[in-house]
Structure 1
C-alpha cells in the first residue's frame, strides 16, 4: 500500500477553505492594528532606589525613586509608601518612565521607618513585586501594609502554569497529526480518528489561549481566579502579551478552514504550503509573549524558541499518531514505508530541539554558576536530564527501524513510543514552569535588597543635597546612582553633572566617571575601581548657568 505524500487534484471545498483562511488573516491584521506597539525588555528586577533600601536619611524626601533593570508598566494601586504610623505617605499617582518609577511622598509624615511596596509588570508579561524600607532620622518598628498585599496568589499562579501546559499539549496534538495526515497517512485507513485528535488539539489550544488572556489579569494584579475587571482585561488586550495572543487566535482561525479538507482527504500543494506558513507563524506567538522577546538578544531568542517549539510539536505529535493509530492499524508493508521516513523526521526534530535549546540556554542562563544557584537553572538541568533519557529511548526506536524490526514487531516499537511520550509529558510540565520562572541571567543579577557591599550616603552643599549610591562598592565594575534634591527635599533639576574618583594612597589620579542623566534630578554611571582602599569621589553639580557646588565622599572599596 502506497504512502500518501500529496494530491494533484484540488479537493472539494478548496475555494471555501481559502476564503475562510483569508477571513482569518483579516482578523489577524485587525488584531495587529488595534494593539499598540510596546518596546521589548527583560524580566525586570529592582536595581536601586532613592532613598536606598535600609538607608537612614536626615530629612524626609519629597519623593521615592525606584529603578528597575528594564522598562516596567503600572499595576493600578500596587505602588505604595507607608509612613511609620501605618498611614499612606504616597501622594498622587506614581510616574513611570522606562525603568524608573517616581512616587510622590508627603515630607511631613514624620520620623521613623517607612515601607515601600511595589508590584509592576515587566515587558515579558511577568509581575515583579517586593518591599523595602528606609528611615528618616532614626529607624523605628517597620510598619505593615495591610491595605495592599503584593504577594502572588498561588491558585492563580498554578492555573497559569496549567494553561501553559495545556497550550503545549494542544499544539502538539494539532501540528504532529496534521503533518502525518498530510504526508504519511495510508490511503486505505480512515481519517476519522486522527481528525478527532486534530480538532481536539485545536480546541484545547484555543481554550488555553483564551484562558491565558483571562488569567493574565489576576496574575498581574495578584488577585484570585475571578478578580477580573473590564479595565484590567482591556489593559491586558492592549499590551504586547495580549497582541500576540490575539494574533495566535487569528492564525488558528485561518488554519482551521484548511484543516477541514485535510481531515477529509489529501489537499493540494498550494493549500499545504499556506497551512505550513500559518503553522510556522503561530509558533512565533509563544516566544513573542514571553522571556525570549525580552532577552539580551531578542531576535535570536525568538527564532530559536520557535524552532524549539516546532521541533517539539512535530516530534511528540508524530509519536502520538504512531502510538494511537499507525502502529495498531497499519500493516507491515505500510509500516515499512512509513517508519524510515518518520525516523528521519524525528531525528531532524530532535536535532532542532537540541540546537535551539542549547542556544536559548546559553542566553537565558548566562553563566555556569547561575545554572546551579537559581531556580531557573535547576529546572533547566532537570529538563536536560529527562531529555537525555528520552534521547536514549528514541535511539532505541530508531535502531528498531534500521533493523526493520518495528514493522514485524510493532509491539516493541509501540512500547518505546509510549515511554518517550511518558517522559516528555514531564518535560512539558517543566517547560510550562520554566516560562513562568525568572530567567537565570536575571535572577543571578537581582540586587534588590542592598547587598553587603552597597554604599549609600547623603551629601550637603549650600544649594542642594546629593544622594549617592555605589553598588557593589568593591574592586571591579561598579554602578553609581546620583539623586539631587533642594534644601527642602524637593527634586532639584540639574543642568550638568561631573564626577571623578581617585585613590591618593595608591597614587591613582582622578578618573572621570561618564554619567547618563535619567531624569532632571537623577543620573547614573559605570566606573571601574581597580584597587582596594578609601576612594575619594568628587561631585560637581551645576543647577543653573551660575549656580554650582562641589561635594566629596570617601568610599571604602573592598
Structure 2
C-alpha cells in the first residue's frame, strides 16, 4: 500500500506531461506542405532593367516563411540601403518598401528567412533602373552559417540520438528481459546518462537555432532572438520534449528500483511516443508534401532505431557480462525476436521516408541528400549482415556456450550503427533531395521564364516556372507606369500553341494580393506558347498584353 501511495505523484506528473504535450500539439499552427522554401518569383524580376525605381520589392516563396530580423536588405548602386522600414510577411509573400526615388544603376536584394522546416533560406538577386551598373557588394548578406555552428548543430542532434538509444534500451530491457537476481545499478547509470544527454541536446538545439537562423556565431544569442525561437513550431516541439523528459524522469525511479507496475510502464510508453513525435515535428517531416504520414513514419523510424540499438547496448554493457548461461539462454531468443521486429519496422519506415523525401531516382544520385541516404543504406545492409550472423549464433545457442563470439558480433553492430547515427544526424540538416533537385540547374526555379509586358494602363511582370512541358506555375505582378502597385479588379489568362493547333486554354488564377496573382497550368507540348493576359483595373479600364513563352 505504501508503494502504491508513493507512486501517485509520479502518475500525476506524467499525466500533466501528457496534457502539456497534447495541448501544445493541438494549438501549434499547422505546418505547410513543403520543405526548404525556395524563391518562386519576385518583383522586380531578376536581371530586369526598369524605366523607374519601384516603390517596393515583393518576394514570393514556395511556402510560408518567417522573418529573421535585420536580414532582408535592398542596396542601391552606391552600396547604401534603399529599403525603408520593416518588411511585411504574409504567408509566402514578403513585401519590402524601398525608396521610389532611387538612382540609376543596379540594385541588390538579399534575404534570409526561415522555412517551414526551421531551416534558414538565404539568397539574393539584382535588378537595374535605367541601365545596368556594377552590382553593389553586401558584406552582411547572411547567406552562410557560421562554421562552428554548422558543426555544432548536427553534433547536438547526434548526442540526442545517443541519449535516446540509451534511455530506450534501459526501459525495454528492464521491463521485459531483466533477470531478477541482477543489480540494476549499471542500468540505472545508463538510463540517467541517456536522459541527461537528450535533455542537454534539446537545450543545445534551442540555443543553436538562434545563430543557425541568423547567421551569427555560437554566442550571437540575445533575449529577443531566443524568444522568437521559443515561439516558433521548432521551439514549441523542443519545449514539449523537455516537459515530457521531466515526467519520464519521475517515472524512471520506480522502474530502476524494480518497483514499477503496469500503469507506470504504460505511461512511460505513451510519454516515449510523445517524445519521439517532437523530433519529426521540429524537422523535415512536418514540412513534407504529406506531413501527417511523414511525422508518423519518422517517429516509427526513430523509435525502431532506439529499441534496436538500445537493446544491443544493454546486451554489451550489462547482460553479456553479468547474466549466467541459463539466463542468456532465456534472454537471447526473446531479444532476437524484438530486434527482428524493430529492424523490420525500421526498413519499412525508412523506405516510405525515402520515397517521400527523395522524389525522383535522379535526385537520389545527384544531390547530397541522396548520397548520404545511399551511404546510410549501404551501412545498414552491412549491419544487417552482422545481425544475421548474431541471430545464427543465438539459434545455435552459442550465446551461452561462447559469449565472446556474440559479444564481438554485437560490438560490430554497435560500431557500424554509430556511424549510421552520424549519417542520420547529417541527413536531418540537409536539404531534402526532392527540393534540392528542384533547385538545381535544369530544374525548378533556375529554369524559369520571366518578362515584363507593358500597355497604356500598366506594366506587368510575368514569370513562368519552370517553362517546361508539364506542370507550370505562373506569377503575375501589375504596376503603374511609375512602378507603384496597381490594384487589379479582374484577371484573365489563356495559353495557346497555334503552331500545333492547340486552342486557348483558360488558366485559373488565385489573387494573392491586390496586384499579384498566381496560377497553375499543364502545358502538354514543347514550342512557343502564346499567353494572352487581360487585366481590368476598374469598371471601364482594361488592357490585354501577349507574351510568347518558349516551353522546353
- TM-score between the two structures when normalised by the length of structure 1: 0.94
Residues 337 and 75 of structure 1, relative CA distance in 2, 3 Å threshold: same
Partner of 1:225: helix, strand, or coil?
coil
For structure 2, the 5+ residue unaligned runs are: none
Residue of structure 2 equivalent to 1:86:
79
Residue of structure 1 equivalent to 2:248:
255
How far apart, in 1, do the equivalents of 2:454 and 2:177 lie? 78
Q: Deviations over 1:186-232 (max 9, x none)?
A: 11110001101100100111111111111111111111111111111
Cα deviation, residue 171, structure 1: 0.5
Choose which of 436, 448, 462 in structure 1 pairs with 2:429: 436
Counterpart check, 1:104 vs 2:102? no
CA RMSD of aligned residues (A): 2.0
Cα deviation, residue 91, structure 1: 1.4
Counterpart check, 1:37 vs 2:29? yes
Q: Deviations over 1:356-380 (max 9, x none)?
A: 0000000000111110111111100
Q: Deviations over 1:304-353 (max 9, x none)?
A: 11111110111101111100110011100000000000000000000010
Residue of structure 2 equivalent to 1:53:
46
Cα deviation, residue 275, structure 1: 1.2
Residues 197 and 451 of structure 1, relative CA distance in 2, 3 Å threshold: closer
Cα deviation, residue 266, structure 1: 4.3
Choose which of 327, 341, 347 in structure 1 pairs with 2:340: 347
Residues 337 and 168 of structure 1, relative CA distance in 2, 3 Å threshold: same
Choose which of 364, 374, 399 in structure 2 pairs with 1:381: 374
Whether the 8 Å contact between 1:182 and 1:266 is mirrored in structure 2 is no
Q: Deviations over 1:268-295 (max 9, x none)?
A: 1111111111111111111111111111
Residue of structure 2 equivalent to 1:549:
543
Choose which of 335, 346, 349 in structure 1 pairs with 2:328: 335
How far apart, in 2, do the equivalents of 1:278 and 1:109 lie? 58
Partner of 1:224: helix, strand, or coil?
coil
Counterpart check, 1:413 vs 2:406? yes
Cα deviation, residue 11, structure 1: 6.5
Residues 157 and 50 of structure 1, relative CA distance in 2, 3 Å threshold: same
Residues 144 and 171 of structure 1, relative CA distance in 2, 3 Å threshold: same
Shifted more, 504-513 versus 265-274: the winner is 504-513
How many residue pairs get aligned? The number is: 550
Whether the 8 Å contact between 1:124 and 1:290 is mirrored in structure 2 is yes
Partner of 2:494: helix, strand, or coil?
strand
Cα deviation, residue 39, structure 1: 3.3
Partner of 1:197: helix, strand, or coil?
helix
Counterpart check, 1:488 vs 2:482? yes
Shifted more, 442-451 versus 224-233: the winner is 442-451
Residue of structure 2 equivalent to 1:158:
151
How far apart, in 1, do the equivalents of 2:489 and 2:282 lie? 40
Partner of 1:337: helix, strand, or coil?
helix
Residue of structure 2 equivalent to 1:3:
none
How far apart, in 2, do the equivalents of 1:153 and 1:37 lie? 29
Shifted more, 455-464 versus 234-243: the winner is 455-464
How far apart, in 2, do the equivalents of 1:160 and 1:191 lie? 34
Residues 248 and 450 of structure 1, relative CA distance in 2, 3 Å threshold: closer
Counterpart check, 1:136 vs 2:126? no
How far apart, in 2, do the equivalents of 1:453 and 1:200 lie? 51
How far apart, in 1, do the equivalents of 2:83 and 2:444 lie? 22
How far apart, in 1, do the equivalents of 2:29 and 2:297 lie? 23
Partner of 2:420: helix, strand, or coil?
helix
Choose which of 420, 423, 442 in structure 2 pairs with 1:427: 420
Shifted more, 211-220 versus 547-556: the winner is 547-556
How far apart, in 1, do the equivalents of 2:458 and 2:395 lie? 79
Cα deviation, residue 32, structure 1: 6.3
Whether the 8 Å contact between 2:31 and 2:287 is mirrored in structure 1 is no
How far apart, in 1, do the equivalents of 2:399 and 2:247 lie? 38
How far apart, in 2, do the equivalents of 1:552 and 1:267 lie? 75
Whether the 8 Å contact between 1:20 and 1:257 is mirrored in structure 2 is yes
Residue of structure 1 equivalent to 2:61:
68
Q: Which protein has greater RCO, CA pairs closer than 8 Å, 6+ apart?
A: 1
How far apart, in 2, do the equivalents of 1:159 and 1:268 lie? 40
Shifted more, 466-475 versus 536-545: the winner is 466-475
Partner of 1:480: helix, strand, or coil?
strand
For structure 1, the 5+ residue unaligned runs are: 1-7
Counterpart check, 1:525 vs 2:536? no
Cα deviation, residue 532, structure 1: 3.5
Cα deviation, residue 163, structure 1: 0.5
Counterpart check, 1:322 vs 2:299? no
Q: Deviations over 1:55-94 (max 9, x none)?
A: 2333322221111111100000101111111011111111
Residue of structure 2 equivalent to 1:145:
138
Counterpart check, 1:280 vs 2:281? no
Residue of structure 1 equivalent to 2:458:
464
Residue of structure 1 equivalent to 2:502:
508
How far apart, in 1, do the equivalents of 2:238 and 2:254 lie? 26
Whether the 8 Å contact between 2:106 and 2:131 is mirrored in structure 1 is yes
Residue of structure 2 equivalent to 1:114:
107
- TM-score between the two structures when normalised by the length of structure 2: 0.95
Q: Deviations over 1:16-69 (max 9, x none)?
A: 432443454466578669x75353342211122122222233332222111111
Choose which of 336, 348, 357 in structure 2 pairs with 1:364: 357
Residues 515 and 16 of structure 1, relative CA distance in 2, 3 Å threshold: closer
How far apart, in 2, do the equivalents of 1:451 and 1:305 lie? 28
How far apart, in 1, do the equivalents of 2:50 and 2:469 lie? 26
Residue of structure 1 equivalent to 2:177:
184
